[in-house]
Each structure stands twice: as structure tokens, then as C-alpha cells.
Amino acid sequence: MSKNHRGLPPEFVERLNMILPSSKRQKIIDSFARLTPTTFRVNRLKSHSDILKDALQSQGLKIRRVPWYRDAFVLENASIRDLQNTREYSEGHLYIQSLSSMVPPLVLEPQPEETVLDMTAAPGSKTTQMAAMMEARGRLVANDNNKVRFFKLKANVEMQGASNVELNMYYGEGFGKKQPETYDRVLLDAPCSAEGRFYIHKPASFGFWKPRKVKEMAHKQKKLIHSAIETLKPGGLLVYSTCTFSPEENEGVLDFALKKFPDKIEIEKAGLDIPNQMTGISEWEGNRYDPAVKRGVRILPDETMEGFFVAKIRKSLGH
């Protein structure tokens, strides 16, 4: 084992070793010792990827396009501050966002004129991405019940010109009863233990981590996914995502949903065209999950991406 794991909680490293294939363990452990580069996407409500690329390059910024997402770029020769000092940033022509964070909206594929819910939306990276995908048409409800984070969400929505967004400060757990069978598509990017964002040189990024924290988050996530499925229209699509590795918060939550809604939901293949992924696992610490959870995708960290989990869930058309 590389010295790069030193400083990480030993129990976290042990759990990772059980989750990951042996051929990938060392590379992923090493990834916690380096920061990913600054990445961003064009805001299609205000610009175009080619126009933005030319404008930034004319200012001396070296950027490269992400192969699997034409609207996304990696900044190669400058700092995040340099990017924030551009007119394009201040006028909302771009949004600084991790590449992994861009994946859930791409899997959800919200369409213009649909009714869409971003259940835990702050600070608005995925909300504004979806607003652009919807061409600012239809109804996109962005919800977050944390007051401080809500106002960050509001500011980002306004800066990006996402005019079809309806802001809401409500408990996500209550949508199912408050608004049953209301939305064509729901994004649940759930609060989690954030293991994909651990950074060895910043102990605060993992100082809170304990197995008990993982269990607490899984409890909350199960309430949220129950609500998300109830508020989804028959035939509608839900994307569940986290920025963590823990099976309790990923496959375990999917297994809970499959048991809670037998014959009412199906996990579909996410169909991600990215190289650094592995299928879900069907067994963890003696618990056997429904085999369908293997259709979930664990995004593995590499030079440009952080750890993430994404699952695509279809609600049946039945009564």
C-alpha cells in the first residue's frame, strides 16, 4: 500500500479495499493525494461551446474539451481565480463544476416543456445545467431546505439566466405526500458522506467521517428516495446520485427502494460513455442486494474526475 493513504481514516481505506477491484485500488488510493484540475461547462442559455472556447483562449487561457461532453472543458494553465476574473465568468457564460457532478443531469436528460424537480439543489450546479438542457422552457423546481445554501442557489440561478427555475425551500422528504405523481423527471443528488471528495492534504475534508455517519446519511437518503419515487409521474424517470463510495448510501438505498416499491420501479442502465466506471456491487458486509442494483454506476476517481455514484430509475406505468 502506498504511503499516500496515510492520514485517511484506516477503516475507510479498509472499506475501499473491499469495494474496489484489486487492479484499481492503488490508483484510487493515490488519487486522494492530488487535486483534480479546474473544470467548467458552457452555459448554453448565454453562449456556445465554440464561442466560449475562442473567447477564453484569446485571453491566454489554455483549455481542452472533455471527450464525452462537448460543453465541458478542463483548464490547463491557469488557476480558478484567473477563470473567475474573466468577463465570461462574471456574466454567467460558464459555470465552474466538477466533471463528475455534470454526469447526473446527462443521465436524466430533462427535455424542454417537461416538469422537473431537483430535490436537493443547492448550490445550483446541476439545476443550471438542466435549465440549459431544457432551453429555459418548461418548469424546473429547484429545492433546498438549508437557508444559507438556498441563497447561494438563488444567486447562481439568477447569474446563469435560468428563467424557467422555480425556487423552493422545503423538506425533500415531504414532496411525495405534498405533490404525488407531479414530475416527469426527478434528480436526487442526495446529501452524503462525501467520500469522493476526501483530500489527504485537507484533513477537514474527512475529519467528520465515521461508519456511524455513513449509516446516518443512508437513513436520510432512504427517506428522500421514497419521496422522490412518490412525487414522480408513472413512466417518469429518477436519477439518484451521490459523491460517495459507501454501498450503504448507494446500492443499499437502491435495494431499499426496490423492496419498498416492488413492481413499481426498474433500474435502467445509465449508458455512460466515460472510461472510469464500474458496475454496482450486489453484496456488502453479508447483505445481499437485489441484482438490479448492479445497473448503478460507480464513477472512479482519476486525473480529472472525483468519485461518484449514479443510478437511473424508471417508474412503471402501472396503477
CA distance 164 to 127: 10
Q: Residue 7 — pLDDT band, cuts 50, 70, 90?
A: confident
Same domain, 58 and 122: no
What is the rounded average pLDDT for all residues in the chain?
Answer: 95
Q: Residue 319 — pLDDT band, cuts 50, 70, 90?
A: low
Same domain, 67 and 145: no
Number of domains present in the structure of the chain = 2
Same domain, 105 and 151: yes
Same domain, 127 and 159: yes
Task: Please write the tens of the pLDDT for every residue from 25-60.
Answer: 999 999 999 889 999 999 999 999 999 999 999 999
Same domain, 201 and 76: no
Q: In the listed set 97, 121, 138, which residue is the last one of a domain according to the structure?
A: 97
Task: Please write the tens of the pLDDT for every residue from 275-288.
Answer: 899 999 999 999 99
Same domain, 177 and 192: yes
CA distance 2 to 19: 18
Query: What mean pLDDT do residues 211-215 have?
Result: 96
CA distance 25 to 28: 5
CA distance 194 to 244: 5
The per-residue pLDDT for 1 is 40
**Is 192 a catalytic site residue?**
no
| Active-site residue, from 103, 141, 228, 243 | 243
Same domain, 55 and 191: no
Same domain, 66 and 141: no
Q: In the listed set 82, 97, 112, which residue is the last one of a domain according to the structure?
A: 97
Task: Please write the tens of the pLDDT for every residue from 133-186.
Answer: 999 999 999 999 999 999 999 999 999 999 999 999 999 999 999 999 999 999
Task: Please write the tens of the pLDDT for every residue from 105-118.
Answer: 999 999 999 999 99
Same domain, 156 and 168: yes
Task: Please write the tens of the pLDDT for every residue from 282-312.
Answer: 999 999 999 999 999 999 999 999 999 999 9
Distances (CA, A) of 109 to 104, 112, 313: 9, 10, 13
Same domain, 147 and 110: yes
The per-residue pLDDT for 272 is 87
| Residue that is written with C-alpha cell 472533455 in the block | 66
The per-residue pLDDT for 248 is 98
Distances (CA, A) of 285 to 288, 310, 319: 9, 21, 36
**Nearest alpha carbon to residue 241 among 309, 300, 192, 195:** 309
193 CB-near residues (< 8 Å, 6+ apart) = 209, 213, 214, 217, 244, 246, 249
Buried b (16+ CB within 10 A) or exposed e, 36-49: bebbbbbbbbbbeb
The per-residue pLDDT for 3 is 45
Same domain, 17 and 93: no
Query: CATH code at 308?
Result: 3.40.50.150
Q: In the listed set 78, 97, 116, which residue is the last one of a domain according to the structure?
A: 97
Same domain, 14 and 157: yes
- Which domain does 239 fall in, by range? 3-36+99-315
